[in-house]
Chain A
C-alpha cells in the first residue's frame, strides 16, 4: 500500500552513462515532482507535472528529461551522467499545488 514508490533505491553507474529513475503514486494526485538533495542536504525542486503537463522546470541541465506517461507516473531520465549528478533524488506528489506533498523514499545515485 505504498503511496509514492521509486525504483531503484540505489543506483551506481559510471560517468557518461544514461540512466532512468521511475516513480509511481497511488494516491490519485494530480501533481508530481522531482527533487534533488545534494551533498549539503538542500532539497531543491527540479520539475513539476500537473496532469501530465510540465508546469515547473527549474534551471536543470538538458541532460535531465522528465516523462509523465500518465498522472500516476513521473520518470526521470538522465543522459551523459556527470560526477556532480551524484545525489539523492526524491519523487513527490500532491493534490493540485496546495503545498502538502507526499514523498517517495528516494533514489541514491552515485556516479563514479
Chain B
C-alpha cells in the first residue's frame, strides 16, 4: 500500500517561472512532511519540512503548503533555476520512520 504518492513522474518548467510539485498521502497520523532533492549518483538532500499543525513553511525560494483536509502537500519553487533540475521526493514521518513517495523529476529549461 502506497501511503505517500507523487502522481507526476516528471515536470518541465521554464527558468524563472514557478515549479509546483505535488504529493498526496493517506495516513492522517503522519506528524511531519518533508521534501528531499536528489541529483544522479548522490543521496537525497533535505530541502524543507512542515509540521502537521502548520499549513505553510517558507525558506528562501522554497515554500511547502499542507492541506490536511485534502491530505495533500505541495512544494513551490520560485523562481526556478537550472540547478533545481533534480528528482524531488516527498516524505512523511510517522512511527519513527519516513515513508517516501516515488519522486518527481523536475527539469528546468533555459
Interface centre among A43, A44, A45, A98 (most CB of B within 10 A): A43
Interfacial chain B residues near A56, Cβ < 8 Å: 96-97
Question: Hey, what's the 0/1 contact readout for B55-98 against A, CB within 8 Å counting as 1?
Answer: 00000000000000000000000000000000101010100111
A64 contacts chain B at the CB level, 8 A cutoff: no
Interfacial chain B residues near A97, Cβ < 8 Å: 93, 96-97
Which of A41, A45, A103 is close to B45, meaning CB atoms less than 8 Å apart?
A: A103
Question: Hey, what's the 0/1 contact readout for A97-112 against B, CB within 8 Å counting as 1?
Answer: 1111111111000000
- Interface residues, chain A, with chain B CB atoms under 8 Å away: 4, 40-45, 48, 55-56, 90, 92, 97-106
Interface centre among B43, B87, B102 (most CB of A within 10 A): B43
Pairwise interchain contact B42-A106, C-beta atoms closer than 8 A = yes
B22 contacts chain A at the CB level, 8 A cutoff: no
Interface residues of B in 22-64 (CB under 8 A from A): 32, 34, 36, 41-46, 49
Q: Do most interface residues of chain B lie in helix, strand or loop, or is the interface mixed?
A: strand
CB distance from B96 to the nearest CB of A (A): 4
Pairwise interchain contact A55-B96, C-beta atoms closer than 8 A = yes
Q: Tell me, in angstroms, the Cα distance from A5 to B27 when the chains sit together.
A: 32
Q: A9 — nearest CB in chain B belongs to which residue?
A: B41
Q: B2 — nearest CB in chain A belongs to which residue?
A: A42
Known A90-B43, A105-B43; judge A100-B34 contact (CB<8 A): yes
Which of A4, A41, A90, A99 is close to B32, meaning CB atoms less than 8 Å apart?
A: A99
Pairwise interchain contact A4-B43, C-beta atoms closer than 8 A = yes
Pairwise interchain contact A100-B42, C-beta atoms closer than 8 A = no
Apart from A102-B46, A104-B43, list 12 A-B contacts with CB within 8 A. A4-B43, A40-B102, A42-B100, A42-B102, A43-B100, A45-B98, A92-B43, A97-B96, A99-B91, A103-B43, A103-B45, A105-B41
Question: Hey, what's the 0/1 contact readout for B98-110 against A, CB within 8 Å counting as 1?
Answer: 1110110000000
Pairwise interchain contact B43-A106, C-beta atoms closer than 8 A = yes
Pairwise interchain contact A101-B98, C-beta atoms closer than 8 A = yes
